[in-house]
Amino acid sequence: MKTIVLVTNDVIGDICAGPGIRYIELGKVMVSKGYRVILLGKKPSFSSPQPFSYAPLTVNNIIKFSKGCDCLILRGGGPVTTLLALLFYRGKDRIADLYAFTHFEVLQLESSSFLEKYVVEVRKVFHRVKLGLYCRHFKKFMVSNERQKDFLYGALFATNTAVEEKEITVIPFGYPSLRPQKTRAVLRGVVSGIEKNDFILIWGGGVWDWLDPVTLVKAMSRVVKTHSNVKLYFMGLRAPSGYLPENGKELLKVSEELGLLDRNIFINRDWTPYNERLDFLLDADVGIGLHPESLETFFSFRTRNLDYVYCGLPMIHTKGDVWANMIERNKLGLTVPPGDDEEVAGKIVELCSNASLMAEMKENVRRFFPAFTWEAIGEKALQSVENKARKTRTSLLPLCCDIAGEYLIFGLQSLFIFFRTVMKRRG
């Protein structure tokens, strides 16, 4: 029996975001196919037994589970996690999971305090360092779409790495193959201000700094002038880790300034547990997600859109990414230009006023459903695990020299960033 160690630098458990969800679901599929799976992540907390083993992401556990490991699948991680994966899993079958290109997400992060600004700048540098190390020392990669695959080819070329020695597999996000069932009402007639017959929009994931919830709030201020029955619910403001994005602060501020907070816009200040999210989605009419034009958008794969498909919701989505193309091609919803609150308002009114259009799009979503089940995606991931990587001799001394050189430069850059940030603050 092969042992697969899944490592994510995100929270895992009943309350988790995209990376945690991905590894929980992949772990379940891999166990069902006869593999032994160990999941390492932050703050593991499950209220029910899991088919896989799990443990906190610590230095000791990363080293400990390397001993019986056949394959490592790694998503994210800072300098320590990256270092340990390179050294202690040397000779193992290693897969770098780049399904969410945090290299571009970090470019969009907003920060207010001195420490936050410094950490964000350092993270930008380390993401480039880490990608270079992955390109040189990992043989297998997972990405979520063809655009990311093309970018990775460019990164391999930039690091003077032979592309033919690498395997890049498209492994997107997914959902269970069984259709969801509603267990209780959670919005309609339950949340004060949301009536049973209201038209409900839902924002399914976080309000990260690379997204655009504020344009939606401004659009709602237009919509409610003629359609007071339209309500908007945000499922999570503060991340499972406790982090509050700057976008979240701005969302609250603008919603209150426009007089919409707790009247037409409702915001869960915490995070909706993974196992409870379906009741919220099934209580809504339309799923919505907006983003600005950016590199992150161009290469992204909006994972929460799959929750919308899973729960049969038509979508309103910003143009510019691969999901916009899928929505337009399959008529799963309506797309809008980035940052255009007037256009967003028009699309919301169009959907809530046109029952036949809603019915048509719901049927299109139903037909689209089989494309992204976790079972199909998990099996594709296991094919990558089983594929034999091209064997090359991994000598410890050159590896250590490469890591030491990269980390030395990274350390010097971090020091320079610190002084530059101090000077900017004083200036």
What's the token pair of residue 200? 């409900």
If pLDDT is split at 50, 70 and 90, which confidence band does 269 have?
very high
Helix (H) or strand (E) holding 298, with range, is helix 295-299
Amino acid 412: pLDDT: 94
Maximum Cα–Cα distance for the chain, whole Å?
A: 70
Whole-number Å distance between alpha carbons of 379 and 169: 12
If pLDDT is split at 50, 70 and 90, which confidence band does 366 have?
very high
Helix (H) or strand (E) holding 56, with range, is strand 53-56
40-67 burial, b for 16+ CB within 10 Å, e for fewer?
bbbbbeeeeebebebbebeeebbeebbe
What's the token pair of residue 98? 């780049």
Whole-number Å distance between alpha carbons of 343 and 335: 9
What integer is the mean pLDDT of 293-302? Answer: 88
Nearest to 27 by CA among 387, 376, 374, 272: 374
Q: What are phi and psi of 284, to 5 degrees?
A: -105, 170
Amino acid 394: pLDDT: 64
pLDDT: which is higher, 116 or 136 = 136
Helix (H), strand (E), coil (C) string for 121-161: HHHHHHHHHHHHHHHHHCCEEEECCHHHHHHHHHHHHHCCC
Q: Mean pLDDT of all residues in the chain?
A: 92
Domains of the chain: 3-174+377-426 (3.40.50.2000), 199-371 (3.40.50.2000)
Amino acid 418: pLDDT: 87
Amino acid 389: pLDDT: 63
Amino acid 17: pLDDT: 87
Whole-number Å distance between alpha carbons of 202 and 427: 43
pLDDT in tens, 56-87: 999 999 999 999 999 999 998 899 999 999 99
pLDDT in tens, 404-413: 999 999 999 9
Q: What are phi and psi of 265, to 5 degrees?
A: -120, 130
Helices H / strands E in the chain, number of each = 16, 13
Nearest to 372 by CA among 147, 178, 173: 173
